[in-house]
A and B are shown apart, each in its own frame.
Chain A
Amino acid sequence: GQNIDQPTEMTATEGAIVQINCTYQTSGFNGLFWYQQHAGEAPTFLSYNVLDGLEEKGRFSSFLSRSKGYSYLLLKELQMKDSASYLCAVVSGGYNKLIFGAGTRLAVHP
């Protein structure tokens, strides 16, 4: 079966660091995406990992361990505008379909 788990909700303080975890069990793995989605809006691309290790892009970093079926998204220097849902999605199968987790709703407080 296909299963992707991430926490439903998290809260953090402006200026702080937050780590959003994602664990997955899928039949096949061809990469992992993180998307950001503000309420009622389209998901937008944040990061992509296909090899083990850390990918850094400004205030956002994403880590992958394929042997553990685990990824995290790290957000530094949190801003109020980072309040959004963060979607973990695994690329699986011969057609490279995306399988999404339910998303983690992050609330950033002053």
Chain B
Amino acid sequence: DADVTQTPRNRITKTGKRIMLECSQTKGHDRMYWYRQDPGLGLRLIYYSFDVKDINKGEISDGYSVSRQAQAKFSLSLESAIPNQTALYFCATSDFKAGGSDEQFFGPGTRLTVL
């Protein structure tokens, strides 16, 4: 079974609709992240959370919100989707240990298309 799962894997929606992307992990990691990936731009951080009560904005948080419902679940919402939010979205987790690398483990991605 995958350690980091994302639902849905693909979604097509219309401008103005509310969309929620969900991420679950069985790795027991405290840290969770949401990224979007666009061709030629690499991965950009939207939001990150270091525990259930900690939510932080990333590089491109405008138009997005998140909810950390439990240690294992981190959801990304688009309150009113617009076409330039069409992208590949990745959830990631990490488990920081002093002296360690804080390597991030990525989910399989959600391909979102906003028409």
Binding site for B on A (CB under 8 A): 4, 8, 31, 33, 40-45, 48, 50, 87, 89, 91, 95-98, 100-103
Q: Are B104 and A98 in contact (CB under 8 A)?
A: yes
Number of interface residues of B (CB under 8 A): 23
The 8 Å CB contact of A33, one of B58, B103, B109, is B103
A41 and B108 within 8 A (CB):
yes
The residue in chain A whose Cβ has the minimal distance to the Cβ of B39 is: A102
Determine if B108 and A42 form an interchain contact, defined as CB atoms under 8 angstroms apart.
yes
Asked if A100 meets B106 with Cβ closer than 8 Å, knowing A95-B50, A95-B56, the reply is no
Chain B interfacial positions (CB closer than 8 Å to A):
40-45, 48, 50, 56, 58, 88, 90, 96, 101-109, 111
Evaluate contact between B42 and A100: CB separation under 8 angstroms.
yes
Provided the pairs A33-B103, A43-B90, A91-B102 are in contact, do residues A98 and B45 lie with their beta carbons within 8 angstroms? Answer: yes
Q: Judge whether B48 and A95 touch: CB under 8 Å.
A: yes
In the complex, 8 of the A-B residue pairs with CB atoms within 8 angstroms, ordered by the A residue number, are: A8-B40, A31-B102, A33-B101, A42-B108, A43-B106, A48-B103, A98-B45, A100-B42
For A42, A44, A87, A100, the residue with the greatest tally of chain B CB atoms inside 10 Å of its CB is A42
Contacts of B107 in A (CB 8 A): 42
Taking a contact as CB atoms under 8 Å apart, the answer to whether B42 and A87 are in contact is yes
